[in-house]
Structures are given as C-alpha cells and as structure tokens.
C-alpha cells in the first residue's frame, strides 16, 4: 500500500515538470526572432504568355537560392500562383520536405500582418518586382524600398522580427 502514494507523488512531480517545460517552450518560441526571407522570382522564360516558366538561367538561380541561404531552415514557404514564383522556391521546398503555400499578392497588407503573427519561424516568400519591396515596406512599417527594375533578379531581403523591432538586410545571389 505504501508504494501507491509514492507513485502518485512521482506522477504529480513529472506532470508539473512537463507543464512548466511546455510553458517555457511556448514562451521561448514567442520570444524567438522570426525571419522572413523575400525574393523576387528567378529569371522567366520569354515565351509562355502571362504565366511563363523559369528560363534556364532562372532554373539555375532557383538552385542557388537554397545554397546561398543554407544557414536557414525554413518552416514555411509562400508563393504567388504563378509558375515562376513556385518554381523559384520548388528546389528548396522539396529539399526541406515542405509544401509551398499560395498567397494573394493583391492583399499585401493582410499577408504582411499574417507573417508578423508567425513567431519564432523562418519563412520564405517568393513574389514579383513590385510585390517584394512593397511587402518588405509593409513588414517594416516604412517606405524604404522601391519596385525592382525588370532585369534585377538577384536581391534577397531578410527581415528579422524581434518583439516589435523589425530590421532588414539585403543580399545578392
């Protein structure tokens, strides 16, 4: 009979430990920085109408994207509905074992608010010459970046959110 109270005490201690561990983990995730990586789609083919696929150079660049950012382990990938944006992320998403989610570039403000709610994650977003700089500006709350020129495909915007502080840097690949 004396074994049962000891067993109950042990179960209580273990249960308390698990609850406090879970609370610390949730708090740690909320306090962790969120990294949002934004890229314009890679070079597109000159044929294909309004929704062309990537050109040979674009396919090569899409392979370079993950290699350039190998220190990041994305939790989520987002793309517009166009072939070129999906194909830009496809090699990296496949390697990470993740699906590419679609977002509406016509609702940039709403999408930026969704991204800011994701805490402690790394997110990769592929967009267009006019949507990527706008989205970075919305995330930062400042009109810092202008639309990319048509021939520029090599910019990567890395936005870091720590609490209410938002910073960014731009690299090339």
pLDDT tens per residue, range 12-52: 444 443 443 333 344 455 578 999 999 999 999 998 899 99
Q: Are 65 and 91 in contact (CB under 8 A)?
A: yes
Beta sheet of 100-102, edge-to-edge order: 100-102, 76-79, 122-127, 34-40, 155-162, 165-172
Q: Is 101 helix (H, G, I), strand (E, B) or coil?
A: strand
Q: Model's pTM, two decimal places?
A: 0.82
Could you tell me which residues are beta bridge partners of residue 145? none
Residue 6 has pLDDT above 70, yes or no: no
d(CA 69, CA 64): 9
């Amino acid at each position: 009979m004396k074994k049962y109270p000891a067993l109950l005490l042990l179960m209580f201690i273990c249960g308390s430990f698990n609850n406090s561990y879970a609370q610390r983990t949730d708090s740690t995730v909320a306090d962790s920085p969120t990294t949002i990586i934004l890229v314009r789609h890679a070079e597109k083919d000159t044929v294909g109408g309004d929704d062309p696929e990537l050109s040979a150079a674009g396919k090569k660049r899409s392979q370079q994207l993950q290699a350039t950012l190998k220190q990041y382990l994305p939790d989520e990938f987002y793309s517009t509905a166009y072939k070129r944006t999906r194909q830009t992320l496809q090699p990296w998403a496949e390697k990470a074992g993740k699906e590419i989610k679609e977002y509406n570039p016509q609702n940039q403000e709403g999408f930026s608010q969704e991204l800011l709610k994701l805490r402690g994650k790394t997110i990769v977003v592929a967009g267009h010459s006019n949507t990527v700089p706008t989205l970075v500006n919305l995330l930062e709350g400042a009109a810092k970046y202008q639309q990319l020129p048509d021939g520029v495909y090599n910019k990567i915007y890395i936005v870091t959110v720590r609490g209410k502080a938002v910073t960014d840097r731009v690299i090339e690949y």
